[in-house]
Structure 1
């Protein structure tokens, strides 16, 4: 898989570190209980289709990048610097 860094251009995905979904998780209240905290810490959605993920260009420029891709075929639809997508659901 190739990822286009907005600063460095087209790169192999091995230059990047995958952080996870580019949406904030809703943190349970401190008194929510063990089941709510277990779910928050251990469970994540695993959608089939278009997702927005946060990647770090670890061996390149050090930028945080939001990658919009399809998990079914890994086709990348868009990449953008994370600082530029703040306020658009990232």
Structure 2
């Protein structure tokens, strides 16, 4: 799979590290245990279009939000995380 880095152009996915779904909000430190459990362990695994957070560690070191179809791995969009909308 090739990921279109907004700064470097298309690169192989071996240059990137996958973090997880984009837009997942971290609970406050004082949040109850069930909120932390949900944040750490309960994730949706959709079939279809999904927004993911990737780090270009072997390139420009930028955080990138990639919109990808999980069934075909086709990438619809890739934007810098700082420029991406804060939506799940």
Q: Which runs of 4+ in 1 moved over 4 A?
A: none
CA contact (8 A) 1:28 1:36 kept: no
| Pairwise CA RMSD | 2.1
Q: TM-score, normalised by structure 1?
A: 0.83
1:40 equivalent to 2:7? Answer: no
TM (norm. structure 2) is: 0.85
| Aligned residue pairs, count | 88
Q: What is the match of residue 25 of structure 2?
A: 25
**Cα displacement string for residues 47-78 of structure 1 (whole angstroms, at most 9, x for unaligned residues):** 11101101000100001111000001111001
> What runs of 5+ residues in structure 1 fail to find an aligned partner?
none
- Give 2:12's aligned residue: 12
